[in-house]
């Protein structure tokens, strides 16, 4: 992925609007083969930080799904998504709890 596209994606992942973050997370999963190993791990780290402070469950679900997909590339390790440990799992709906638990146990 070209630098310009990568920067644009990173900006969307960190956007102030939850709808933009949600769409960006979905777009991340649509372009998995376009990322270099460094880009994949950087996006996973950004998504993890966004997820740790996410207030909207639909955006959180999209972010967690994108992280899971990025981890499947083999370029993302648990250290890249360590911010997920900041999420208060007990306050989440059951399906999101499972997502977070699965990611942290990967």
The pLDDT confidence band at residue 99, using thresholds 50, 70 and 90, is confident
Q: pLDDT digit string (tens) for 4-36?
A: 999 999 999 999 999 999 999 999 999 999 999
- Cα–Cα distance for residue pair 6/55, rounded to 1 Å: 25
Helix H or strand E encompassing 62: helix 57-71
For 37, phi and psi rounded to 5 degrees? -55, -40
- Region of 2 on the Ramachandran plot (φ > 0 left; ψ -120 to 50 alpha; else beta): beta
Structural domain spans, the chain: 3-105
pLDDT of res. 21: 96
DSSP 106: -
Report the predicted TM-score, pTM, of the whole model to 2 decimal places: 0.92
Q: Report whether pLDDT(106) > 80.
A: no
Per-residue pLDDT, 7? 96
pLDDT at position 48, please?
Answer: 97
Q: Which residue has the tokens 């399906």?
A: 95
The pLDDT of 56-84, averaged and rounded, is 94
């Amino acid at each position: 992925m070209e630098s310009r596209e990568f920067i644009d994606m990173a900006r969307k992942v960190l956007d102030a609007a939850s709808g933009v973050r949600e769409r960006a997370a979905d777009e991340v999963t649509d372009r998995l083969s376009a990322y270099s190993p460094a880009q994949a791990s950087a996006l996973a780290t950004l998504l993890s930080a966004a997820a740790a402070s996410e207030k909207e469950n639909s955006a959180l679900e999209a972010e967690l799904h994108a992280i899971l997909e990025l981890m499947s590339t083999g370029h993302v390790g648990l250290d890249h998504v360590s911010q997920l440990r900041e999420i208060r799992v007990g306050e989440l709906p059951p399906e999101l709890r499972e997502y977070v638990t699965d990611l942290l146990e990967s």
